[in-house]
Amino acid sequence: MSTIGIQQVAGKRKIEDIRKAAEPPRCGSSGQANMGYYVPRLLEETLDLKFKVVTGYQGGNEVDLGVERGEIHCRAMSIEAFFAREPFHTWRKTGFVRNLVQTGRKRDPQLAEVPTIYELMDKYNTAEGGRRLASVVLTVGVLGRLTVAAPTIPADRTRVLRSAFTSALKDAELIAEAKKRNLGLQPVSGEELEALANEVMAQPPEVIQRLRKLSGM
C-alpha cells in the first residue's frame, strides 16, 4: 500500500485544497513505471484532482531532495518506506509533509487519520469505471510479495500449503522479527488473493483503455 505526502509549505493540507487549487501541485517521479507516477494519475482519474507529475529523477532519494528543495511539492511512497527510513523520520517529526490519501482498502493503523482512496471515491461519487480502474491499478499493493505454485497443483495440496503459510505467519518469533526490522506484516489468504486476481482480470474494454492511458501506453 502507498500514500502520497505533500509539503506543508505548499498550503495544501487536504484533498479539498488540491481540488480547489488554481495551479496543480508538482509531484516527482523517476518515470512512468512506479507509484510516484501512477498514484497521482489515478487520483486525477478517480477524484477529479489535478497534479503535474515531473519525471526524470534518478531515483527515490533524488525525489526526496527535490521535495526538500521545493522543486516539487509531493511524492507518492509506500507506507512501509514512510515509516522505515530517512528522510521520512525527520519529515514526520518536523511536520514537513502531510499525508493526503492512502491506497489500501482499510486505513493503516499508522495513518489512522488519513482517508483511503476508497473512502474518497464514496465521498465524491466516483463512477463505476473509475472504481474498477482503481481496483486494477492498486491490486499490486494488495498482492504484495507472492508465493505461487503451478496451476496444475492438486487442490488438496493447495489447501495444505495455504494452511501452512497461514500458520507460519502467525508465529510469534516471525512477528517479533518483522517488528524488529520495521517490516509491515499484513498477510492475505490465498483464497482472497485468488478471488481478487479473478476480479481484476475481468474488466470491460473501457477500463482497459483507461489503464493504458494512465500508464502511458
User: Do residues 184 and 81 both lie within one domain?
Assistant: no
**pLDDT band, very low/low/confident/very high, at 57 (cuts 50, 70, 90):** very high
Please indicate, yes or no, if residue 132 is contained in any of the structural domains: no
Say what the pLDDT of residue 122 is.
Answer: 96
Beta carbons of 200 and 139 less than 8 angstroms apart: yes
Please indicate, yes or no, if residue 65 is contained in any of the structural domains: yes
Average pLDDT rounded to a whole number, residues 30-57: 91
- How many domains does the chain fold into? 2
Which of 96, 125, 154 delimits the end of a domain? Answer: 125
CA distance 60 to 68: 13
The domain in which residue 19 lies consists of 2-125
Cα of first residue to Cα of last residue in the chain, in angstroms, is 23
Say what the pLDDT of residue 10 is.
Answer: 59
Instruction: Please say if the pLDDT value at position 207 is more than 80.
Output: yes
User: Do residues 84 and 37 both lie within one domain?
Assistant: yes
Say what the pLDDT of residue 147 is.
Answer: 81
User: Do residues 147 and 66 both lie within one domain?
Assistant: no
CATH at 102: 3.40.190.10
Which of 68, 90, 125 delimits the end of a domain? Answer: 125
User: Do residues 8 and 60 both lie within one domain?
Assistant: yes
118-172: per-residue pLDDT in tens?
Answer: 999 999 999 999 999 998 888 876 666 778 888 899 999 999 999 998 888 888 9
Whether this prediction's pTM lies above 0.85 is answered by no
User: Do residues 120 and 156 both lie within one domain?
Assistant: no
User: Do residues 49 and 151 both lie within one domain?
Assistant: no
What are the helix (H) ranges across the chain?
Answer: 15-20, 35-47, 60-69, 79-82, 88-94, 117-123, 128-143, 155-168, 172-180, 190-201, 205-214
User: Do residues 109 and 205 both lie within one domain?
Assistant: no
User: Do residues 117 and 88 both lie within one domain?
Assistant: yes
Please indicate, yes or no, if residue 135 is contained in any of the structural domains: no
User: Do residues 86 and 165 both lie within one domain?
Assistant: no
User: Do residues 109 and 160 both lie within one domain?
Assistant: no
User: Do residues 182 and 99 both lie within one domain?
Assistant: no
Please indicate, yes or no, if residue 134 is contained in any of the structural domains: no
User: Do residues 49 and 145 both lie within one domain?
Assistant: no
CA distance 186 to 203: 27
Least confident of 61-65, 93-97, 99-103, 145-149: 145-149
